[in-house]
Structure 1
Amino acid sequence: MRILLLGATGRVGSDILKLAVADHHEMKVLVRSPEKLATREKVTVIEGNVLDEQSLEEAVQGVDVVVSALSTDKTTTLSESIPMLISTMEKHQIKRIITVGTAGILNSRTEPALYRFESSESKRKTTRAAEEHLSVYKNLVASELDWTIVCPTYLPDGDAVGGYRINEDVLPENGREISVGDTADFVYRTLMNNTHQKKRVGIAY
């Protein structure tokens, strides 16, 4: 499979990259800082920015699927880049995208009319990051793409150990955390199995 990975130098992205390279997929990454990549072996590296239309055009050439592990990083990168990314994918007839979001944009279990970040379930003092991820969700819903948003709750560093639970559209009941490694594992499994299309998926232990 020919995969474009965005956010490849981040915590989840770097683990996804290792899994895909180990399985001999044709990997392409668009990164601002190539020196931060966990591996460059068998990886086509494009130095650029997701906010640059020309960089996106070059990055999507010849790929089958896009995986985005971009973080908010206290910026508006997600909300600014997603319309350009969708437009570029549609132009090149690339249908499948899997992104890493946040549990905040899942539906609240206690107040179903609200997103978790809007409800009493959320313990976050600021909603800025969730609002960025919500913009991605709303743009994808309005698109013609086959999308999946993987929505981890509290995300400590750690290897994949398995035993995690998933639920579409809501967080698994009493879910408290999920490791970086297991989040990457689930993203990769979703990519390989082509499951959960047009769904948000909550993941937690």
Structure 2
Amino acid sequence: MRIFILGATGRVGSVIVNQALHDGHEVTALVRQPDKVLFMDRRLTLIQGNARNREDVSQAIREADVVISALGTDGTTTLSEFMKIIIDEMNLQGIKRIVTVGTAGILQSRVEPELYRYQSSESRRRSTTAAEEHQRVYEMLNASNLDWTIVCPTYLPDGEAIGNYRVERDYLPEDGVSISVGDTAEFTYQQIFKKEYIGTRVGIAY
């Protein structure tokens, strides 16, 4: 399989890249700083560029079978700008499957179901900037004709995959408080082979 990955130098994205290469897939990563990629493999193609630049994205996504985005928010609108471009490019190039890493803030609130978690009393975060950006991405994907899945982890400490996590459509598993980087990456990667959560947000937590 040919996989296009955004966020390959980040905590979750780098683990996904390693797993995909270990399994023998061809991986293309669009990165701003290639020297931040600490591993090399003959099946890994690095393209230096900007996720907000349509030409860079168009070049990097060419011939991909699936797209994985572990791109984080940076206090700007980079994530939503990229998502508009990638949706357009996927449609132009006939690519259907995209899996992204979001945030538990854009899941539905259990106590106020008409609200997202970040808008409700469930959230303890003072700043909503990142969640608002992830919400824009969710709304764009939801309005698209792509086969999308958004993996929505809660508090995300470093850690290896241990496997005993819980997942739930559109909600955070009850009393879930954390999920490791390793397990988030493993679950996200596995979604490119599965159809169970197409067209939905998935909460993930221990």
Residue 113 of structure 1 aligns to a residue in which SS?
Answer: coil
Work out the CA distance in 1 between the residues paired with 2:95 and 2:161.
Answer: 29
Report how far residue 67 of structure 1 moved: 0.2
Structure 2 counterpart of 1:91: 92
Residue pair 1:14, 1:38 contacting (<8 A) in 2 also: no
TM-superposed CA distance for 1:188, in Å, is 1.2
Which residue in 2 is equivalent to 1:188?
A: 189
Post-superposition CA distance 1:140-182 (Å, at most 9, x none): 0111100000000000011111100000000000000000000
Deviation at 1:80, TM superposition (A): 1.5
TM-score (norm 2): 0.98
The separation in 1 between residues aligned to 2:74 and 2:11, in whole angstroms, is 12
Aligned to 1:48: 49
- Superposed CA RMSD in Å reads 0.8
- Give the whole-Å Cα distance in 2 for the aligned partners of 1:64 and 1:95: 8
Is the partner of 1:30 in helix, strand or coil?
A: strand
Write out the 4+ residue segments of structure 1 that deviate beyond 6 Å after TM superposition. Answer: none
**Which residue of 1 is the match for residue 179 of structure 2?**
178
Provide the identity percentage. Answer: 57
Contact 1:68 1:98 in 2 (8 A): yes
Letter of the structure 2 residue corresponding to residue 52 of structure 1 = N
Unaligned residue ranges in structure 2 (runs of 5+): none
- What aligned pairs does 1:1-205 form with structure 2 within 5 A after superposition? 1-41=1-41, 42-205=43-206
Can you list the C-alpha shifts for 1:173-194, whole angstroms capped at 9, x where unaligned?
Answer: 0000000000001001112224
**Unaligned ranges ≥5, structure 1:** none
Aligned equivalents of 1:61, 1:80: Cα separation in 2? 19
